[in-house]
Amino acid sequence: MVPKELLKKTPILAELDEQTVAELAKDASLVAVENGGCVFLEGEPLPPFFFVLLTGTLQMVKCSQSGKETILRPIRPGEIFAWAALLDGGAAPATARAACASVVMRLPSQALLTAIARSPATALRLLATLSERLRDVHEQLHDIVSERARTRLARLILRQRAREGDCLQTLLPHQLLARMAGITYEESVRILGEWTHGEHPILSYRRGGRIEVLNAGGLMAIAEGGGDAVGEE
């Protein structure tokens, strides 16, 4: 059993009534995941749970046939993941790996579906979040296939900015940026170096991957294929 307060603090469940929250809390459980540990693995059957990250950071990782890994997105506390387990089960489309020691809340899929049936507002929240996730993945895959390194990186940062504001809350060190954008570590270092230095910097990048967008218009111009052409791949 999980304390009801943890469920109430989860934005996606905020519209549920007290009785429904109490019932969900009885079926919910907490799982500690060590750094580098996995909640589930790509290709393996998904457990019949809906997951919410409570503390730490997870990364959704997709592996190609050649073994190259692409980080689809980082997952921050309060975010939900493993939609397939809720909607249709089947195999995990990606691996959920902990980037540091993390704690995950598990809600049995059937129990959550029953709760959603009682709360149209919660169903709408879930649909809106799912729509956002699908749009992000579609845009990211499109960028990797068809866009240049600078454009990919600009669009990635802008997507994070849309969710978190100019001062990004998610730490995005070069290694993570490179794997999310499908570029090399060296490209990430060089391109962000161009954007953070000079007379009119576009970004502020501090050690550890803390990014602040200083010139959103300039970043948008690059994301649209314009802006300074120096260093285009």
Per-residue pLDDT for the chain (233 aa), expressed as one digit of tens each?
788 888 888 877 877 888 888 888 898 999 999 999 999 999 888 888 889 999 999 999 988 777 778 888 888 888 888 776 566 667 888 899 999 999 999 988 888 888 888 888 877 877 777 777 777 766 666 655 556 888 889 999 998 999 899 999 888 999 889 888 888 899 999 999 999 997 889 999 998 899 999 999 999 999 887 654 333 44
Q: What is the pLDDT, as a whole number, of residue 87?
A: 65
Contact 21, 13 (CB under 8 A): yes
The DSSP letter of residue 12 is G
Q: What is the pLDDT, as a whole number, of residue 145?
A: 54
- 17 φ, ψ (degrees, to nearest 5): -80, 170
- 83 φ, ψ (degrees, to nearest 5): -60, -35
CA distances 181 to 3, 11, 85, 140, 174, Å, are 38, 28, 27, 7, 10
> How far is 145 from 75, CA to CA, in rounded Å?
23
**How many Cβ atoms sit within 10 Å of the Cβ of residue 139?**
15
Structure tokens at 120: 């149209």
Q: What is the pLDDT, as a whole number, of residue 232?
A: 40
Q: What is the pLDDT, as a whole number, of residue 233?
A: 41
Contact 26, 4 (CB under 8 A): no
Q: What is the pLDDT, as a whole number, of residue 147?
A: 61
Residues 6+ apart with CB under 8 A from 14: 8, 125
Q: Which helix (H) or strand (E) holds 31?
A: strand 29-33
